[in-house]
Amino acid sequence: MTDHRTAVAHRNRRRPLTRLLAGATGLACLSLLGGCFAAAPAQPASQGTGQRIALAMLQPPRSGLTPLSDDAFKLSRWATAETLIMLDANGEAQPGLATQWEQASPKTWVFTIRQGVKFHDGTDLTPERVAASLTAATKASPKPRILDGVTLTISHDATTVTIGTAEPDPLVPQRLSSPQLVILAAKAYQGKAVSPVGTGTGPFELTAVNGTSGATLQRFDGYWGDKALASGVDVSFVPDGAARAAALRTGTAQVVEAVPVGQAASIEANLIHEVPMPRTNTLYLNTKKGPFADPAVRAAARAAIDRARLVQDVYEGRADIAEGLLGPALPWMAGERDAAYTALRDEHRKQPATIDKVKITLGTFTDRAELPEVAVLLEQQLEAVGFEVTQDVREYQYIEADALDGDFDAFILSRATVLDSGDPVAYLYSDFACEGSFNIAQFCDKEVDAALKVAAQAPAGQERRAAIATVEALVLGNDAAVPMLHERVIQGEAAGVTGVERDPRERALITAKSTLDA
């Protein structure tokens, strides 16, 4: 059966936008869909066009914009907070707030800190400040996901920061590129929560946050690099996909994150851009309790799923059928799925059980507009083989905790696979290690944990890629998760917008070069 909330959410997403209201408060609101966008205040132009950019984002902050959570990726996409290391298009480490680095020993890395950098509050970036920010991340509870399974010791001298690891870690520079390890001024850490307001080093200063409604950023003229062309950015959080699409059509927002596939046809083709994403639409199965504790029942669910239909019917062909957890955004993975990989995966798979009126709960969230529709089709496919499905569909902020606690038999998640370090090992550990912090499948397997340890210690290159493939084969062999499709995000950019990043890793968007035609 289909949960009533799912049907309502589905109907609401299809309703046309009927009117715009201009309020006396200076907000332009999409009346039926609840998306409000802060009107851009007039700003003098000191360089570039001086225009402000209105940005509509998918999800509101989940943790008050603390950089020690996934909210850190918003700070990165707004170019307000920076890390020691940046990644290029190939995932290779490049200078950020660190100008150079070396591996002094198997367990020791030394980073030279950039000189002449000011925080937005006017204080100086120093090795001492860098060490303090990183130390705060290591002591956070819960830890940032990039530090799952990692123990760091941090020290500094007048020009460098030294990072020690409990085990040899060939990806320390890539780890330090994670937005969850941004470097902030001392005053960011003075309250109960870490505050990024006025404490970053990026070309834009975060000056105000309006709860889960929006945020305001101003150009920081003391930036150490090229100064921002735009005078500021006005951010609105708009979970409803139809509202985001309407904002792009009407010009209420100039940059729009994640236009839903179902809305793409209503927008001029030159305003939307498909970006292949390292993001997999995955069905996580609860391996600890309930019907899916039986691997044969998990195998039956996996066998019931028609991936091609999901891609065509829900994503209108704007996605790729999943062959594994890692998709086309990591093209090297296809070459790793050889005969040995297939044999390892199939060795662990059970024959599908015969299903007869097995009741399961299926959860997902509304923030990504396609997921409720995926749930409807998935329910049909599962019920066709004998499952009885009850759906629970809510906004992500209201369902995440229940999913992590294992309250669902199955959960559909649109999951980024290389956000943290440009390398998928952190994602695989987080989701499938016994102690992983994002283990929705409640999965724990000694063989997988051992394979994850090998992958984590392997040097970058072919050896590491092979180890990653082994982990994927084992996870799929256990049917802890069923990868269904790999998404291509649709990014909206109004006419006249230039210098906006189209980043597969979803960590860059607004940059110092982002601007609007006058």
The answer to whether the CB of 428 falls within 8 A of the CB of 455 is yes
Q: Which domain holds residue 458?
A: 276-488
Residues 483 and 363 in one domain: yes
pLDDT digits (tens, 9 = 90+) for 255-309: 999 998 889 999 999 999 998 889 999 999 999 999 999 999 999 999 999 999 9
Tell me the CA distances in angstroms from 299 to 3, 15, 285, 292, one per residue in order. Answer: 25, 38, 10, 9
Domain of 447, CATH number, reads 3.10.105.10
Q: How do 232-237 and 214-219 pair as beta strands? A: antiparallel
Tell me the CA distances in angstroms from 378 to 304, 305, 410, one per residue in order. Answer: 9, 7, 11
Residues 58 and 207 in one domain: yes
Does 55 fall in a domain? yes
Torsion angles phi and psi, residue 131, rounded to 5: -60, -40
Residues 99 and 133 in one domain: yes
Q: 9: buried, middle or exposed (CB in 10 Å: 19+, 13-18, 0-12)? A: buried
Q: How do 387-394 and 214-219 pair as beta strands? A: unpaired
Residues 386 and 503 in one domain: no
The answer to whether the CB of 204 falls within 8 A of the CB of 75 is no
Neighbours of 31 (CB within 10 A): 14
Torsion angles phi and psi, residue 152, rounded to 5: -115, 140
pLDDT digits (tens, 9 = 90+) for 426-456: 899 999 999 999 999 999 999 999 999 999 8
Q: Which of 253, 262, 389 shows the shortest CA–CA distance to 317?
A: 262
pLDDT category, 322, cuts 50, 70, 90? very high
Residues 35 and 167 in one domain: no
Check whether 22 has a pLDDT greater than 70.
no
Residues 96 and 146 in one domain: yes
Check whether 36 has a pLDDT greater than 70.
no
Residues 308 and 407 in one domain: yes
pLDDT category, 419, cuts 50, 70, 90? low
Of the candidates 189, 212, 238, which is a domain's last residue? 189
Q: Which residues, other chains included, contact 297 with Cβ-Cβ below 8 Å and sequence gap of 6+? A: 291, 353, 355, 358
Check whether 48 has a pLDDT greater than 80.
no
Does 159 fall in a domain? yes
The two tokens of residue 442 are: 């409640």
- Sequence letter at residue 182: V
Tell me the CA distances in angstroms from 512 to 94, 253, 367, 453, one per residue in order. Answer: 17, 18, 28, 39
Does 431 fall in a domain? yes
Does 6 fall in a domain? no
Gap between the Cα atoms of 246 and 263, Å rounded: 9
pLDDT digits (tens, 9 = 90+) for 148-185: 878 999 999 999 999 999 988 888 999 999 999 999 99
Domain of 95, CATH number, reads 3.90.76.10
Residues 310 and 417 in one domain: yes
Residues 331 and 352 in one domain: yes
pLDDT category, 49, cuts 50, 70, 90? low
Of the candidates 189, 215, 244, which is a domain's last residue? 189
Structural domains of the chain, count: 3
Residues 413 and 370 in one domain: yes
The answer to whether the CB of 202 falls within 8 A of the CB of 223 is yes
Domain of 241, CATH number, reads 3.40.190
The pLDDT assigned to 146 comes to 86
pLDDT digits (tens, 9 = 90+) for 450-503: 999 999 888 777 888 899 999 999 999 999 999 999 999 899 999 999 999 999
- Per the prediction, the chain carries an average pLDDT of 89
Does 327 fall in a domain? yes
Which value, in Å, is the radius of gyration of the alpha carbons in the chain?
23
Does 291 fall in a domain? yes
Residues 439 and 334 in one domain: yes
Residues 281 and 423 in one domain: yes
